Structure 1
Amino acid sequence: MTHSMDRGRPGPALGAAGTRALTVAALDPVPIFREGLNALISRTPGLRWVGYATNHHASLQLCEQLRPNIVIVDSGFDPHCHLIRLLSDGDPTLVIVVLVREAQRTAQFLSTAVSAGAHGVLLRSAEPRRLAEAIRRAHVDRRYIDPSLAALTARPKRQPPTTNGQAMSAAHRPQMPLSRREYQVLQLVAEGLENSAIAKVLFLSVETVRTHVKSILRKLSAKDRTHAVTTAFRSGILIAKADDSLGASREVLSPPVQNGPT
């Protein structure tokens, strides 16, 4: 679900005074945090809030249909940076700013996020003024690193193996084998939707969905849909909701336009 709709993005939107305003959306599962971002963006000159998404397939739909200039992504929402990579590959002009939780405050995550296509990274606990600055800097310079995270980005990439396997597991983090649309379909399969329901959500034909499901099974070497979902969770392609998002409802982008992209 989003708060407003834009049909395209030829450039930044016109603000109330005729100046160019950058459109901003949030990909975050926590309602109170989204409301805070909405309030901050809405009162910041030069920025305009266009909406939010609370799961991965809705995030991809939002960026396809609203085409914001900037998206703010919760690191706990995308700890393996699969969504960031798909968004970046789908729209190279999109500016992606990641808000980093303590759990992802590591050199490995920051390196993965930047290589996946993130333009700005800062702490999720940053002051509102710092976030507004990060958004502008990321848009203008295409790179912004929170000073409190700079030391982590400067660390050597090579790390010795540890007894608990942390460094080893990070080094072998799985790549994203699925396409953008296959990832959306798999998300909905994991939520228990049948092909006909998935087709309605993604504005596709049932036959197209069936083709995507077959491709997912082949790429994940899965026997059936349940096996594919299990494999995806075990390999990190799919993730469980962050702890503080358990109370958030599943929201799907519902645009008035019925002929969405295929």
Structure 2
Amino acid sequence: MAHNMDSSRAASGLGAAGTRALTVAALDPVPIFREGLSALVHRTPGLRWLGHAATHHAALQLCDQLRPNIVIVDSGLDPNCHLIRLLCDGDPALVVIVLVRDSQRTPGFLSTAVAAGAHATVPRSADPRRVTEAIRRAHTDRRYVDPALASLTARPKRHTTAPNGQPAAQGNRPQMPLSRREYQVLQLVAEGLENSAIAKVLYLSVETVRTHVKSILRKLSARDRTHAVTTAFRSGILIARPDDAVDPTTEIRTSQTR
């Protein structure tokens, strides 16, 4: 993985002229889309590109290390919105913008994304002007829906109340029984990595990884690692890689490693 970066600049969010810029990262498995987002951010005053990640565990690492102001998430990478929820829970100040693929342009997905914490939803096919508008509006208002999606999101709310005063159910939001770190470990187990390799990727001790694996097995009522992965895919905790994704040799790229 590539981790080289100017950490002081990344932390301060200062642009070339010394003015504070909004820092932006993308979580997208498709090179042409994230290159387009990078170019858009680079040419937009007041925005600064931090980098991208192509998998769930790499996305969590990127956000932990670089702490972007804005993260743009491909809906195809997170169709059940588990990653969105983990990102929002891990950093309440983070603004999450979802680029919605045609296959996810449904009231169900959009309400689930909002319930998970997404601040803005924009069609993945939107032109650059609409994407930059979403970035600015989401950061300012912490709520933005592209006009093309408005008719699908008229009813869903972040918090609704039932007649008895109790919070109402948030649609078919899949449950996530795992912690943020357990989710990362399970992703890597599903990729075939052994504990020692997972420890190197996540900068953990092997014993800590073993502890996480034991917890995953217990929470998923799984007999072994293979059973845990199978259960996770069947329940929607893990998803198959999008059809148009490539197998990344380096999952994290920062603006200083271009």
Question: Under a length normalisation based on structure 2, what TM-score does the superposition of the two structures give?
Answer: 0.88
Aligned residues: CA RMSD: 2.1
Identity %: 77
CA displacement 1:188-227 (0-9 Å, x = unmatched): 0000000000000000000000000000000000000000
SS at match of 1:138: helix
Deviation at 1:15, TM superposition (A): 1.5
The reply on whether 1:200 has 2:225 as its aligned counterpart is no
Deviation at 1:36, TM superposition (A): 0.4
Match of 2:248 in 1: 249
Is the 8 Å Cα contact of residues 54 and 252 (structure 2) preserved in structure 1? no
Deviation at 1:19, TM superposition (A): 1.8
SS at match of 2:122: strand
For residues 186 and 8 of structure 2, the distance between their equivalents in structure 1, rounded to whole angstroms, comes to 27
Q: Which runs of 5+ in 1 are unaligned?
A: 158-169, 256-262
Q: Aligned runs of 1:46-61 on 2, under 5 Å?
A: 46-61=46-61
CA displacement 1:167-186 (0-9 Å, x = unmatched): xxx95453011000000000
Is the 8 Å Cα contact of residues 22 and 69 (structure 2) preserved in structure 1? yes
The reply on whether 1:68 has 2:68 as its aligned counterpart is yes
Question: Under a length normalisation based on structure 1, what TM-score does the superposition of the two structures give?
Answer: 0.87
Q: Which runs of 5+ in 2 are unaligned?
A: 158-169
Q: Which of structures 1 and 2 has the larger relative contact order (alpha carbons within 8 angstroms, sep 6+)?
A: 2
Is the 8 Å Cα contact of residues 2 and 51 (structure 1) preserved in structure 2? no
Letter in 1 for 2:250: E
Match of 2:178 in 1: 178
Is the 8 Å Cα contact of residues 69 and 95 (structure 2) preserved in structure 1? yes
**Change in 2 beyond 3 A, CA 1:133/1:11:** farther
Deviation at 1:114, TM superposition (A): 0.8
Is the 8 Å Cα contact of residues 3 and 253 (structure 2) preserved in structure 1? no
CA displacement 1:66-115 (0-9 Å, x = unmatched): 11111000000000000000000000000100000011101111111011
**Change in 2 beyond 3 A, CA 1:156/1:90:** closer
Q: How many residues matched?
A: 242
Letter in 1 for 2:21: A
For residues 4 and 191 of structure 1, the distance between their equivalents in structure 2, rounded to whole angstroms, comes to 24
**Change in 2 beyond 3 A, CA 1:173/1:22:** closer
Match of 1:147 in 2: 147
Match of 1:17 in 2: 17
SS at match of 2:177: coil
Deviation at 1:18, TM superposition (A): 2.4
Deviation at 1:6, TM superposition (A): 5.2
